Amino acid sequence: MENDLVRKEKRARLSWYLYDFGNSSYASIVLLAIFSTYFKNVVVGGVDGTRLWGLSVGIAAIVVALVSPILGTIADFTKGKKKFLIFFTLLSVVFTVLLYFVREGDVILGMVFFTIAEIGYRASQVFYDALLDDVSTPETIGTISGMGWAIGMLGGIISLVAVMVPMQLMDNFFVPNAFLISAAFFLVASIPTFLWVKEGSEAQSIPKGESILVHGFKNLADTFKDARKYKEFIKYMISYLIYNDGIMMLMDFAAIIGGTLFGLDQMALIVLVLILHVTGAIGALIFGRIADKYSGKESILISLVILIVSMIAIFFIPYSQPVWFFVAGGVAGFSLSAAQAVSRSIVVQLAPTEKIAEFNGFLSTAGRTSTFIGPLVFSALSYRMNNWYLKAGYAANIAERNGMMWGMGAITAFLVVGGVLLMFVRKIHIDVSDS
């Protein structure tokens, strides 16, 4: 009986890992390497593509921010995490498949299909993360979370390699097929989680006289009031929301930056994302050890400094020497994934022990609420500055590049401000007496 239980627990963990493997193919192919540049350069064309891409990403983030807190509460009270996970995964998969039909000039169609696929992808992550408690213990949660991150990186690499060879042979003609491959990866790798990850928590009852909607927002308000007592956590949350927006901006626009500034073609952009994945996995491992030896604060600060330096370096790279952009991109990927991986663990140092899970959930909700700001800032700023340079008499390609530089400046500013604010956060554990 005990061996059977151990076997089921191992199968559940492996199944949970595989979901990360699958959804990373969406992030790599649709969000990072292929559809972003396909949408900008082929579906829309020109600087409008950057603006509309940022708008699409921002709309999806707003929708997820609005619905995820209440859906999370419903899932907790009805024992429905897997049901919501399945629904949003299938939503993302179906609309990723529909991206196959988006062709040149199908701007509205492309925006609608991508936005819905992105909503499904982002919302599914909320419930996937919530299942971590069901496949781990307090002693293993960090290791299992990190393993899921690493396997996700591997999934992104394998899915990109799977589309590289046919794209090399068929060039842009093959691009729409890449979205079908991404959807297939996502769906197939998700099935084990649907089948073998079991929810351990029991359904909870709603207090008499309250609807589940009212109770959900009441819980959120109570958590916010509780979190305000812990000043160091609030300071960290503010810094996190700012530097994380910078990170999200960089991830959302990395391929567009490479294509616009250095003329990278689709194959070169896939290589760039592969470099980001490989160096990112290395960075997550190294900075995870730094966090264990010193603190999460030091680890994140070091990674942000490296990321800021790599961003500034891009400003000085000649457009005719894209090889240096790959170098800067590799360094950025090394530090970017490190900051993301360690950010999840720093709450453990700042929250009271009995409220770690609650504060993690609150920070996650706040993070999702803010992530629409960065893409909208980047796209609006680069678009408006492009128009300013055009009116000033600059050639169209120079105006677009200069506008993109302003967008990169916004990324750098978010990282710098978030990093400076993080310096004022104490690295020690917060006790109730500190409030």
Contact 177, 166 (CB under 8 A): yes
CB 284 within 8 A of CB 224: no
Q: DSSP readout, 67-122?
A: HHHHHHHHHHHHT-HHHHHHHHHHHHHHHHHHGGG--TT-HHHHHHHHHHHHHHHH
d(C-alpha 293, C-alpha 385), whole Å: 44
Which residue's structure tokens are 């929810």?
A: 199
What's residue 229's pLDDT? 72
Contact 122, 60 (CB under 8 A): yes
d(CA 340, CA 184): 27
Buried/exposed 349-369: b ≥16 CB within 10 Å, e otherwise: bbbbeebbebbbbbbbbbbbb
* Residue 206 to residue 210: CA distance in whole angstroms: 7
Instruction: Classify the C-alpha dihedral 378-66-361-9 as positive or negative.
Output: negative
Decide if 287 contacts 341 (C-beta within 8 A): yes
| Residue 155 confidence (pLDDT) above 70 | yes
Q: What is the pLDDT of residues 272-328, one digit of tens each?
A: 888 888 888 788 777 767 766 767 778 888 889 999 999 999 999 998 889 999 999
Nearest Cα neighbor of 105 from 48, 30, 163, 182 is 48
CA distance linking residue 32 with residue 275, whole number of Å: 12
CA distance from start to end of the chain: 48
- The answer to whether domain 1-196 and domain 225-430 are alike in fold is yes
Q: Which residue has the higher pLDDT, 199 or 271?
A: 271
Domain ranges across the chain: 1-196, 225-430
- The confidence band for 138, taking pLDDT boundaries of 50, 70 and 90, is low
Q: So what's the pLDDT on residue 360?
A: 61
Render pLDDT for 222-232 as a digit per residue (tens, 0 to 9).
Answer: 766 766 677 77
- Which amino acid type is present at position 320? S
Q: What are the tokens at 127? A: 């419930």
Q: Which residue, among 311, 314, 404, 392, has the nearest Cα to 51 in the 3D structure?
A: 404
Integer Cα distance of 309 and 170 in angstroms: 37
Amino acid at 410: A
- Fold that domain 225-430 belongs to in CATH: Growth Hormone; Chain: A; (1.20.1250)
How confident is the model at residue 126, as a pLDDT?
76
Q: Where are the alpha helices (DSSP H) in 263-372?
A: 266-293, 296-314, 323-350, 356-370
**118 or 346, which is more confident:** 118
Amino acid at 363: L
Q: Just give the CATH number of 1-196.
A: 1.20.1250.20
pLDDT single digits (tens) 82-128: 888 999 999 999 999 999 999 999 999 999 999 999 999 988 887 88
- The answer to whether residues 376 and 55 touch, using CB atoms and an 8 Å cutoff, is yes
**Predicted structure pTM score:** 0.80
Query: What does the alpha-carbon distance between residue 254 and residue 375 come to, in Å, rounded to a whole number?
Result: 12
Residue 46, pLDDT score:
79
CB within 8 Å of 122: residues ≥ 6 apart: 60, 61, 64, 368
Q: Give residue 429's pLDDT.
A: 41
Q: How far is CA 76 from CA 72, 315, 322, in A?
A: 6, 47, 49
Up-side HSE of residue 63: CA atoms within 13 Å toward CB?
A: 17
- The whole-angstrom separation of Cα 85 and Cα 201 is 16
